[in-house]
Amino acid sequence: MKKYYFFLIILLFHQACIPDKQAEQETPTSEQAKIIFLQDIDSLYSKTENLKNVILSNISETKIQQAFFEARAAYKQVEFLAELYNPFTAKKLNQPALDEVEEEDPNVVVYPEGFQVIEELLFPYLPENKEEALKHVEITLVNIKHLKRVSEPNTLTDAHIFDAMRLEVFRLITLGISGFDSPIAKNSLPEAMAVLSTLKKYIALYEKPIRFANFKLVANESKQIEGYTKLWHKIDQAEKYILKFNDFDAFNRAYFITKFANPISELLLDYQIKLGIQSFEEHRFLKTTAKTLFEEDAFDETYFAPLYSRKYAHNQEVVALGKALFYDNILSGNNQRNCASCHQPERAFTDGLPKSASFDGKGFISRNAPTLLNAGLQASLFYEGRVAYMEDQITDVLSAKDEMHSSVKEAVSKLNQDKNYQRLFQKVFLTEEENTQSPITEEQFKIALATYLRSLKSLNSRFDKYMRGDKTQLNSQEINGFNLFMGKAKCGTCHFMPLFNGTVPPVFDKMETEIIGVPTKPDTAKATIDSDKGKFNTTKIPLHTFAFKTTTVRNVEMTAPYMHNGVYQTLEQVIDFYNRGGGEGIGIQLDNQTLPFDKLNLNKQEQKDLIAFMKSLTEVDFKKKVK
């Protein structure tokens, strides 16, 4: 029956795929795109209203679910422009079915809305859920009306349209085919078809760009035609591949991304350039010029830095100065430990202990030392995400009594008594016009150390090289492990590709925390929740109790033991924990667990494959970077 839905949705979208070729040539392409966008919003409203009527009619579960699939597919037609122009409204239409709190007023709980909430009420559909389902469909209809109202006055531009299309490709491979926004129905592949059909519909507007008034004559029109043809055919091939291989659990995501999705994003950028449409120059974490998500320099490590630090990001003298500080005992209160005491480069900047040794050497601090590799590529820091800037993290760590037992003020005071450091800081920070006798400042100190930490990027593993086209880098077991990670095992719905942490794609400007139910001990019998309440310790919001930031899986082979309390010594133990359904699966009762508590049902071989893939995320060359 599900195959019937799949082909029905494909048929519906191909019927609406091609825009009217007889459109007036004087109408700018971007205005034609806006007309289509508004029409698609109307179609979304109509499909959602039909879902409401089908639920009201009390017909079969099959018909209700079919109507839901059609409405969701209609949403996928408007998603790429809605997310770019009206992200707040788009979130209301398709957000995870999890409660949140208002950032401005933490005491106000924000209840989820949209299709993911409706999905939970319809799969399976129980008559007792009818009123609740209808309520959420009505809310969704109101939000669709709002989307139409706020979209009507918007002025679309060609640059925005191409930008939105490329972001949608990134959204497709990170959130779409992973099942992130279809976690229960597993309807991700038909929805991917809807996305691809929509891209073709908008790209068709640019098939003959010379005829449109908003384009200047470009010297080599044949290159434009060639670019369009390659792009169109690559999307067409991607559609055919999904049509042929449409089983969610068995879908070869590695092949799809390297064979189709990556080339599509590259061809979109190439065609945009051929059309003379300039890319945005705005400062983003994911660079607007990144051809794919897997380029080594796709992400800008300065994005999450304060303005006063950004200009030093690529200054190698500042990096070298920060590195010297990192390994210098002068930063600690007793001059007997340094940053590398707990963040050792040979262990991917961890220390191999469940919990790091305390300052006095007689005990341990409350948490496991996380890796510093890619620490600059995240929107918040510490396990509970309590600070946004690396500079603030430095302040906290130095002042922590169990860690460095010092302060930025004390460290800078000692540095100002060291002639060598005085010389180095003056060389880096002072201009010829400034007083060469000026003391080292706290800001300069934090800039130097934070700049070094941001330089610790690790995005060149065997997995990355495979995604860039070198098919020799991964074997069949590792490829299968990746497909499990991004599919059946659901790892990729929290550890988002390609950073494999909680930084949410495709904008990558928000870091998620999750409640997974980490136990005190590794025993699965009579398990109890670890006493560390995580984010609640900072916010005092009950909803955040036991919430921790989703840390990176990159270089995980080097960073044992695992979890914030170091409870698991091996990756096998970690996978077993998730395979059982997290804390809920080992008997821990949590009302607010955000990790799905259903079992993953991974067999032994699948678990081995999954671990093999995770080990492919180790960058074997990172030691060279830190010598």
pLDDT in tens, 312-356: 999 999 999 999 999 999 999 999 999 999 999 999 999 999 999
- Answer whether residue 608 shows pLDDT above 50: yes
Looking at the fold, whether 147 and 178 belong to one and the same domain comes out as no
- CA 217, 221, 225, 226 dihedral sign is negative
Q: Tell me which of 107 and 34 has the higher pLDDT.
A: 34
Looking at the fold, whether 149 and 43 belong to one and the same domain comes out as yes
What are 102's strand-pairing partners? none
Question: Which of these ranges, 173-187, 203-217, 490-504, 566-580, has the smallest mean pLDDT?
Answer: 203-217
Residue 59 inside a domain? The answer is yes
Looking at the fold, whether 133 and 110 belong to one and the same domain comes out as yes
So what's the pLDDT on residue 436?
61
* Contacts (Cβ under 8 Å, ≥6 apart) of 104: none
- Answer whether residue 522 shows pLDDT above 90: yes
Residue 286 inside a domain? The answer is no
Residue 242 inside a domain? The answer is yes
So what's the pLDDT on residue 626?
55
Looking at the fold, whether 151 and 103 belong to one and the same domain comes out as yes
Looking at the fold, whether 73 and 195 belong to one and the same domain comes out as no
Which alpha helices (DSSP H) does 400-508 contain, by range?
A: 408-415, 419-429, 442-454, 462-467, 476-485
276: region left, alpha or beta (phi > 0 left; psi from -120 to 50 alpha): left
- Cβ atoms of 45 and 78 within 8 Å: the answer is no
Distances (CA, A) of 610 to 177, 334, 371, 491, 567: 17, 44, 21, 10, 20
CA 162 to chain centre: 20
Count: domains in the chain: 4
Looking at the fold, whether 199 and 273 belong to one and the same domain comes out as yes
Distances (CA, A) of 6 to 45, 233, 455, 523, 555: 21, 22, 46, 43, 38
- Answer whether residue 461 shows pLDDT above 80: yes
Fill in the amino acid letter for 347: R
Which of 94, 127, 155 lies at the terminal end of a domain, its last residue?
Answer: 155
- CA 209, 210, 215, 217 dihedral sign is positive
- Answer whether residue 23 shows pLDDT above 50: no
Nearest Cα neighbor of 514 from 558, 474, 444, 563 is: 563
Question: Which of these ranges, 87-96, 125-134, 221-230, 442-451, has the smallest mean pLDDT?
Answer: 221-230
Which of 454, 472, 496 lies at the terminal end of a domain, its last residue?
Answer: 454
Residue 581 inside a domain? The answer is yes
So what's the pLDDT on residue 197?
97
What is the average pLDDT score of the chain?
91
Looking at the fold, whether 399 and 322 belong to one and the same domain comes out as yes
How many residues does this entry show for the chain?
Answer: 627
Residue 26 inside a domain? The answer is no
Q: Tell me which of 582 and 7 has the higher pLDDT.
A: 582
CA 548 to chain centre: 16
- Torsion angle of the four alpha carbons 369, 370, 374, 379, in this order, in degrees rounded to the nearest 10: -110
Read off the pLDDT of each residue in 580-592 and give the average, rounded to a whole number: 94
Residue 15 inside a domain? The answer is no
- Answer whether residue 227 shows pLDDT above 90: no
So what's the pLDDT on residue 279?
82
Buried b (16+ CB within 10 A) or exposed e, 110-131: eebbbbbbbbbbbbebeeeeee
Q: How many C-beta atoms lie closer than 10 Å to residue 611's C-beta?
A: 19
The CA distance from 286 to 361, in Å, is: 42
User: 430 falls in which pLDDT band (50, 70, 90)?
Assistant: confident
Distances (CA, A) of 46 to 1, 2, 43, 78: 24, 23, 5, 13
User: 103 falls in which pLDDT band (50, 70, 90)?
Assistant: low
- Torsion angle of the four alpha carbons 567, 569, 572, 577, in this order, in degrees rounded to the nearest 10: 0
The CA distance from 14 to 614, in Å, is: 38
Predicted confidence (pLDDT) per residue in 259-291, tens digit: 999 999 999 999 999 999 988 788 899 999 999
So what's the pLDDT on residue 620?
83
Looking at the fold, whether 342 and 432 belong to one and the same domain comes out as yes
The CA-CA-CA angle for residues 424, 429, 431, to 5°, reads 115
CA 596 to chain centre: 18
- Answer whether residue 17 shows pLDDT above 70: no
- Answer whether residue 248 shows pLDDT above 80: yes
So what's the pLDDT on residue 606?
98
- Residues 318-321: contacts with CB under 8 Å, at least 24 apart: 318/428, 318/447, 318/448, 318/451, 318/452, 319/451, 319/452, 319/455, 320/452, 321/424, 321/425, 321/428, 321/448, 321/452
User: 210 falls in which pLDDT band (50, 70, 90)?
Assistant: very low
The CA distance from 179 to 248, in Å, is: 8
Looking at the fold, whether 559 and 604 belong to one and the same domain comes out as yes
Question: Which of these ranges, 8-17, 48-57, 307-316, 503-512, has the smallest mean pLDDT?
Answer: 8-17
User: 211 falls in which pLDDT band (50, 70, 90)?
Assistant: very low
- Answer whether residue 615 shows pLDDT above 50: yes
So what's the pLDDT on residue 212?
40
- Answer whether residue 9 shows pLDDT above 80: no
Q: How many C-beta atoms lie closer than 10 Å to residue 383's C-beta?
A: 21
- Answer whether residue 215 shows pLDDT above 50: no
Looking at the fold, whether 555 and 615 belong to one and the same domain comes out as yes
Which of 124, 155, 186 lies at the terminal end of a domain, its last residue?
Answer: 155
Looking at the fold, whether 314 and 448 belong to one and the same domain comes out as yes
What are 360's strand-pairing partners? none
Q: At what angle do helices 390-399 and 408-415 cross, to 10 degrees?
A: 90
- Cβ atoms of 280 and 288 within 8 Å: the answer is yes
- Answer whether residue 213 shows pLDDT above 50: no
Q: Tell me which of 219 and 188 has the higher pLDDT.
A: 188
- Domain, as residue range, for 134: 32-155
Residue 489 sits in a domain of what CATH number? 1.10.760.10
Read off the pLDDT of each residue in 8-14 and give the average, rounded to a whole number: 50
Residue 149 inside a domain? The answer is yes
So what's the pLDDT on residue 393?
97
Residue 576 inside a domain? The answer is yes
Looking at the fold, whether 68 and 150 belong to one and the same domain comes out as yes
The proportion of the chain whose per-residue pLDDT surpasses 70, expressed as a percent, equals 91
So what's the pLDDT on residue 24?
45
The CA distance from 148 to 169, in Å, is: 23
Read off the pLDDT of each residue in 447-459 and give the average, rounded to a whole number: 97
Read off the pLDDT of each residue in 6-23 and give the average, rounded to a whole number: 50
- Answer whether residue 165 shows pLDDT above 80: yes
So what's the pLDDT on residue 627?
54
* H-helix or E-strand spanning residue 548: strand 548-549
- Cβ atoms of 597 and 585 within 8 Å: the answer is yes
